[in-house]
Structure 1
């Protein structure tokens, strides 16, 4: 692989000093950006799949938390967001032609992880939309020792009437040339920019909310508004398709905020109740982005994640030597 350095805005990414970013091409030619935070003598690497609208700098703090606990980190700018190629003329809207295209991005990121010889075992951490991408990836055999999810988008929280309207709009609009339009109630402006901290659906911690706002203010090119109707159609399709499928035989830890209002909580409870080696943890008083909560909650989250990865690595070693 011909590695090309990409920008990593370290002024807003308070991660380990080892951080670097790289330009990659997915198999269909879309340019992506992937960040890595290597660590000497790491016990493994966290493959961090971010959510919709997110960018790698947002997880600099997470990389620092993992490094403090002995793990390297890799994070991805998915197509259509961050500094990856935007896919429609208006860069303010999030778009994908097919949800399966995100698997091309994940495959490219894994090629980079192997090229850089990031320490194994690898462990998946998928947040929100990254949880849907990650679940699809592990169902297809992603080479990880364990998986973990925070607020995974295995369904979208919509009232029944709104869900039906969404299905109808999302299916009809692309056929008549309106697939790049925004769904009702969404905005071209980034959520943290337009929404005050009070009653936001992301975090209960004002400092973390201010950090997200400051990141967008410092680097407006990272901002992303609402999704297109085509994205909504694809998201509803893939979550409905995965819902009846069984979970892979991997150790899994899923963490939900007790105040979760973005994803379909029932789908998460249903899947985790049937996951053979799965554990669901609900954090009282936390919103959707549990890794962006206050210090006490964040410590609890990262301690649990690393304990999960350590235990999975022991299980994998035992299985290989048996």
Structure 2
């Protein structure tokens, strides 16, 4: 935690597209290395369940998790989500704001530290729990390994490895580790686009969700607020992400209850890495969604409803006061 009190500075919050519960707010937060990130939060009057911290994936932003906020607030939790450095309304790190970038992957832990300090300043109720999606799953796993402060964790499609086809894997390795050496570190890998995937990819053939309503919601959010959009990552980001995945897989499992969800049609992160990690997590359980894509929290209401229920059950089971209210 940082020393001293944090200045609470209101930040824009797009309630028109968030679809979350009433009372959502956002604040700007300054990290230890001077990057401005945005944190959104919802706190019900009867937040007896503690606080769920949502760690989003690459390209994501606070408002995308309004539906998740509604689910957890309805169960008596406060809920928080973050725009990581380089995406959403947080400071973009390159002259071309469409390129996702980070200098060192552990820099995201400076964002985590700032988020947790803000949660302290806002007096968000404890215990604290974390949900990490995709890239946020990598950030969240390092956080629970190194930082502590959480009573239980959950992950959806976590980036503990990146999926490449047999053809693309060697090219990706060359791009990630040689591109920066030859001055292409701020360029995007071959075959990638500077345009937002959701904004340009039709629903048919997308690799995120099988639910047309949720996909339309994501498209509508970016159409209303295009400043939230992000394109492909830099080759430095790719190198750093690959190195982070190797480090995470070398670490023993945290002594923390964990529930991880993975879609059966997952095509973005490495399914083998997820299975290996969870097979060696004594307090962990892996749930595979047969018809799920990468974003199980953006699947149809039956699928995501069950995911929310199982995660909230896990968090309630690790609350010192026992059972809380159901949604």
1:175 to partner: Cα distance = 2.1
Aligned-partner Cα distance in 2 for 1:35–1:229: 29
Match in the other structure for 1:283: 289
1:76 CA displacement: 0.5
Question: What aligned pairs does 1:189-208 form with structure 2 within 5 A after superposition?
Answer: 189-208=195-214
Other structure's SS at 1:70 match:
coil
Matched-pair contact (CA < 8 Å) for 1:145–1:316: no
1:9 aligns with 2:10: no
1:117-156 equivalence runs, <5 A = 117-156=123-162
Measured after TM superposition, the shift of residue 160 of structure 1 is 4.0
- CA RMSD, 1 decimal: 1.3
Superposition pairs for residues 85-96 of structure 1, below 5 Å? Answer: 85-96=91-102
The match for 1:320 is none
Give the alignment of 1:265-304 within 5 angstroms: 265-304=271-310
C-alpha separation between the residues in 2 aligned to 1:312 and 1:280? 18
**Mean Cα deviation higher: 165-174 or 17-26:** 165-174
CA distance in 2, matches of 1:172, 1:255: 34
2:35 counterpart residue number: 30
Q: Number of paired residues? A: 317
TM-score by length of 1: 0.96
Aligned CA distance change for structure 1 residues 246 and 234 (closer, same or farther; 3 Å): same
Task: Give yes or no for contact 1:203–1:286 (8 Å, CA) kept in 2.
Answer: yes
Correspondence 1:1-322 to 2 at 5 A: 1-42=6-47, 43-314=49-320
Cα distance in structure 1, aligned partners of 2:225 and 2:52: 26
Following superposition, the deviation at residue 62 of structure 1 comes to 0.6
Measured in 2, the distance between the counterparts of 1:315 and 1:268 equals: 32
User: Secondary structure, in 3 states, of the residue corresponding to 1:23?
Assistant: strand
What is the CA–CA distance in structure 2 between the aligned matches of 1:104 and 1:225, rounded to whole Å?
Answer: 23
8 Å Cα contact 2:94/2:101 also seen in 1? yes
The gaps in structure 2 that reach 5 residues or longer are: 1-5
- Give the superposition deviation at 1:316: 9.6
Distance 1:172 1:316, change over 3 A: farther
Give 1:251 shift.
Answer: 0.3
* Structure 1 unaligned blocks of 5 or more: 318-322
Deviations 1:202-234 (A, max 9, x none): 000000000000000000100000000000000
